[in-house]
Amino acid sequence: MIVITGGAGFIGSALVWGLNAQGRDDLILVDELDEGQKWRNLVPLSYHDYYDKAEFLDLITGGGLPYDIEVCFHMGACSDTTEQDTHYLMENNYKYSQKLAGWCLEEGIRFIYASSAATYGDGNQGYSDSEENLDKLRPLNMYGYSKHLFDLWTKKAGHLDKFVGLKYFNVFGPNEYHKGDMRSMVLKGYHQIRKTGSLQLFKSYRDAYAHGEQQRDFIYIKDVVDLTLRFMDRDDIFGLFNIGTGRPRTWNALARALFSAMKTDPAIEYIEMPDHLRGNYQYFTKADTSKLESVGMGYDYTSLEAAVTEYVRKYLMDSPYLGSG
């Protein structure tokens, strides 16, 4: 059996889709289904059982989980970079992760968890996933800090040679529909263009970057799934790894790819960035993928243009959820 926390969320449900494609449905999903719409991600997918995250924690700490688990993909977290409830983030992203990690250690379960590129902050310390760089990082928001704290705990507790932590960069693709303001610009932009014929991007407030020329390491969800599942098969690999392309692209390039996919002439409007975001904004991200390549996991990433085109034409215009087509 395989456990996937955050199993109804964006990356979690995509992992279920990827495992289903491999013929596996011996999956235990853990999440917190509220009044939102992320349950829709699960409708086309196959799995063995589902647990609420609080119920699951009670079961594993009480020794009552009636399954033999081989690997745990811990994708569950609050991923809202604007969340201000520090107590909630500490309990949900940090404390829960510690308890889950402890259970996996006790039971001999391979533990693969989601970290984040938000841990790198403004990038002044670079984007290396080496352990030596970890203590120097200064996240810009509480979400990134909660993820960073768990990375630090893993290192200080001496578990980096037992766990795998994956620092996901700017992931986009189907099954992110429930994420509200945290949806990718591809999804938000698609609806903007359909409604108004134009796309809004934030202005730049640094002389080194023209409007729309801020850069991100965008990575397609299907590439993320493929890379993540490889760590399940490579049980000789441990530590922190960046999951990004290593090829940053501008917001303008993403916009052009989106207009092209929609077969619409580009029309971009540059708008003021809200004051509360200006001091916490990443102008540049680029995954250092050398560590990933050094363990034989180099990857032929889907280009931004090809990924945006598939997302728009196959999912946004047709069957929205992974597995529903």
Which residues are annotated as catalytic?
143, 179
Task: Evaluate the CA torsion angle 165, 169, 175, 180 in order and state its sign.
Answer: positive
Please give the Cα distance from 104 to 62 (Å, whole number).
14
Residues 6+ apart with CB under 8 A from 223: 245, 299, 301, 302, 307
| Strands of the sheet with 110-116, listed across from one edge | 49-52, 27-31, 2-5, 71-74, 110-116, 163-168, 239-243
Beta strands in the chain (DSSP E): 2-5, 27-31, 49-52, 71-74, 110-116, 163-168, 170-172, 199-202, 215-216, 218-220, 239-243, 249-250, 268-271
Amino acid occupying residue 97: S
* DSSP letters for 85-121: -HHHHIIIIIIHHHHHHHHHHHHT-EEEEEEEGGGGT
φ and ψ at 114, to 5 degrees? -90, 115
Q: Give bridge partners of residue 241 from the DSSP assignment.
A: 166
Q: Which residue has the tokens 């939102």?
A: 36
